[in-house]
Chain A
Amino acid sequence: MPTRILIPSGVLCLGFDRAALARGVAAKPDLIAIDGGSTDSGPWSLGAGQSKYARSVTKSEWRELMLARAQAGVPLVIGTAGTCGADTCVDWMFDITCELATELGQSLRIARLYSNQPSPRITDALAQGRLRPLTPAPDINAEALGQMTNIVALAGAEQIQAALNTGADIIIAGRTTDTAIIAALPLMRGDHAGAAWHGAKIAECGALCSTNPTSGVIMVDFDADGFTVEPLADGATCTPHSVSAHMLYENSDPFILYEPGGHLDVTETKYTALDARRTRATGSKWVPGPYTVKLEGARAAGFQTTLLAVLRDAHYAANAQAWADKLHSFLDALIAKRMALPTNSYTLDFRLIGVNATLGAMENRIGSPTEVGVLLIITAQTQALASEIGKLANPHLLHYPLTESEELPTFAFPYSPAQSDRGALYEFALNHVLELDDPMSAFRLDVTEVTP
Chain B
Amino acid sequence: MTQVRDIALKVRSKNAGPFWVTIDVFCGSSDAYTTLTTALKTDAIAALYHQPTQLLKRFDIPDLNVIKFSFPRPVIQGHRLDRDMHGAGWSTLLAELDI
Contact = CB atoms under 8 A, between A and B. Distances in A.
A347 interface: yes
A249 B83 CA distance: 21
Contacts, number: 102
Given A42-B85, A357-B83, A252 B77 contact: no
Interface residues of A, number: 43
A365 B72 CA distance: 23
Interface stretch (A162-170, A240-248, A282-290, A321-329): A240-248
A358 interface: yes
Contacts of B18: 39, 42-43, 296, 428, 431
Nearest to A39: B18
B68 A254 contact: yes
A97 interface: no
Given A40-B86, A302-B80, A359 B59 contact: no
Interface string A369-382: 00000000101000
Contacts of B89: 358-359
B99 interface: no
A254 B83 contact: no
Given A245-B66, A249-B14, A379 B80 contact: yes
A340 interface: no
Interface in B37-87: 48-50, 57, 59, 61, 63-64, 66, 68, 70, 72, 76-81, 83-86
A153 to B, nearest CB: 15
Contacts of A403: none
Interface residues of B, number: 37
A360 interface: yes
Nearest to B24: A248
Contact of A43 (B49, B68, B77): B77
Interface in A424-444: 425-428, 431
B79 to A, nearest CB: 6
Contacts of B66: 245, 248
B80 A136 contact: no
B22 A252 contact: yes
B98 to A, nearest CB: 10
Contacts of A44: 78
Contacts of B72: 135-136
Contact of A251 (B16, B48, B84, B85): B16
Given A248-B64, A362-B90, A427-B80, 12 more contacts: A42-B78, A44-B78, A248-B68, A249-B14, A250-B14, A251-B22, A252-B70, A301-B80, A302-B80, A359-B83, A364-B93, A426-B78
Interface of B: 14-20, 22, 24, 26, 48-50, 57, 59, 61, 63-64, 66, 68, 70, 72, 76-81, 83-86, 89-90, 92-93, 96
5 contacts: A39-B15, A244-B64, A245-B26, A248-B22, A255-B59
